[in-house]
Amino acid sequence: MMDQAESLRRLVSQKKGIKKSRVITISGGKGGIGKTCISVNLSLALKKLGYNVTIIDADLGFSNVEIELGVTSKYTLFDVLYNNKMITEVISEGPLGVKYISSGGDFTLIDEGVDLTLFLSNIKILDYYSDFIIIDTGAGLNKVVHQFLQAADEIVLIVTPEPTSIMDAYTLIKHSLVGEKKKINVLINKVKSFEEYRKIYKRFETVVNNYLGVSLNDLGYLEIDEKMTECIIEQTPIVIKYHNGKTAKQLIQIAAKLANQSPPEEPQGLWGIFTKLLKQR
C-alpha cells in the first residue's frame, strides 16, 4: 500500500495541477434540514453515475456521515498533519466504493512549524483519486462552516420550507457568500409537492437576488419521504436500500444535473482549497 501510495504521489507531483477534483460544500445554516443525508446520498448517486467520490465530514464533533454511511474511521486529516499518517491510511471505504474521510479540526488553527508541503501533497492524492469531493458541514454559521464556504468553488445550499430554514440560508449567503464568484446551487428539501418547491424556490431566489444581488442555480427538490429516517436508523442510505424509489430517482437526477453543469472555469481542487484555508491561519 505504502509503495503504491508513494508512486502515486510522485506521479501526481509530476503532473502538477493537471488533475483537479470538483469540490462541493453542502451547507444551509439550520440544523436537521438534511445536509448529511444529502451529502451521503448525493455522493452515492454520483458514484452510481460512474464518478469517483470522496466525502469529507467537516462537522466537527458530530461524525454523522459515519453513522449515515455506515462506516467507521480511526484517523482524520489532522493525523495526516500531525501524526505522519498517509492520506491512504485515513480513507475509509463506504458502500459502492465511495471514500470517506473525517476532517478532524479547524485548519486555520494549525501550529506553526508543521510540514504543510507534505500535507498538501497528500491532499493532491485525493484530487487525483476523486472526480467529486463532497464536504458535509455542520449546523450554524461557525468559523469552520464559513471557511469551507469561502474556500469552495461550488456550493449546494439545502433549504426546507420552514421559515427558519429560509432565513438561515439567507443569512448564510449574506454572511459568507456575497461578492464571491461561486456557483450557489439550491436544493429544496422536505417539500410536500412540486408546487410547494416552486413556490419556495421562487420566493427565496427573489429575496436573495433583490437584497443581496446574488444569483442562484436551481438544483431541484426532494419530497418528504419517511423512508429517509428509516434508512438512517438502519445505516443503509436510501439510494441503496430503495434504489427504485422516487427519492432515489430524484437524487440521481440531482446528481446528474450537478455533474453535467459546467465546472468552475479554473477549479482549484481540494489542494487549492486547503492552500487557501492554510493561508488564513
Q: Which of residues 14-73 bind ligand ATP (CB under 6 A)?
A: 31-37, 59, 64
d(C-alpha 88, C-alpha 52), whole Å:
15
| E-only strand ranges, 160-214 | 183-191
Burial class (CB in 10 A: 0-12, 13-18, 19+), 69: buried
- Tell which one of 207, 225, 256, 264 touches ligand ATP (CB under 6 A): 225
Least CB distance to ligand ATP at residue 278 (A): 25
Identify how many contiguous H helices and E strands the chain contains and give both numbers. 13, 8
Q: Which of residues 114-153 bind ligand ATP (CB under 6 A)?
A: 138-139
Give the contacts of 261 (CB within 8 A, at least 6 positions apart).
Answer: 183, 217
Least CB distance to ligand ATP at residue 69 (A): 11
Least CB distance to Mg ion at residue 35 (A): 5
Least CB distance to ligand ATP at residue 234 (A): 11
Nearer to Mg ion, 36 or 165 (CB): 36
Least CB distance to ligand ATP at residue 279 (A): 28
Nearer to ligand ATP, 152 or 222 (CB): 222
- Positions touching Mg ion (CB under 5 A) are 35-36, 64
Nearer to Mg ion, 138 or 269 (CB): 138
Handedness of CA 134, 137, 143, 144 (dihedral sign): negative
d(C-alpha 227, C-alpha 236), whole Å:
11
- Tell which one of 141, 224, 256, 259 touches ligand ATP (CB under 6 A): 224
Question: Of Mg ion, ligand ATP, none, which one sits near residue 97, judging by CB under 5 to 8 A according to partner kind?
Answer: none
91 contributes a contact to ligand ATP by CB under 6 A: no
**Looking at the DSSP assignment, which residues form a beta bridge with residue 57?**
102, 136
Q: Which 3 state secondary structure label does DSSP give 229?
A: helix
Give the contacts of 159 (CB within 8 A, at least 6 positions apart).
Answer: 28, 33, 165, 166, 169, 186, 187, 188, 189, 200, 204
Using the contact rule CB under 6 A, the part of the chain among 11-19, 50-58, 199-207, 220-228 near ligand ATP is 220-228
Contact by Cβ (8 Å): 158, 49 = no
Number of residues near ligand ATP (by CB under 6 A) = 19
Contact by Cβ (8 Å): 153, 276 = no
Give the contacts of 39 (CB within 8 A, at least 6 positions apart).
Answer: 26, 55, 65, 134, 135, 136
**β-pair type (92-93, 154-159):** unpaired
Least CB distance to ligand ATP at residue 233 (A): 9
Nearer to ligand ATP, 123 or 186 (CB): 186
- Tell which one of 228, 251, 270, 273 touches ligand ATP (CB under 6 A): 228
Q: Which of residues 155-194 bind ligand ATP (CB under 6 A)?
A: 189-190
d(C-alpha 153, C-alpha 22), whole Å:
8
Nearer to ligand ATP, 157 or 222 (CB): 222
Q: Which of residues 231-250 bind ligand ATP (CB under 6 A)?
A: 232
Name the site residues for ligand ATP (rule: CB under 6 A): 31-37, 59, 64, 138-139, 189-190, 222, 224-225, 228-229, 232
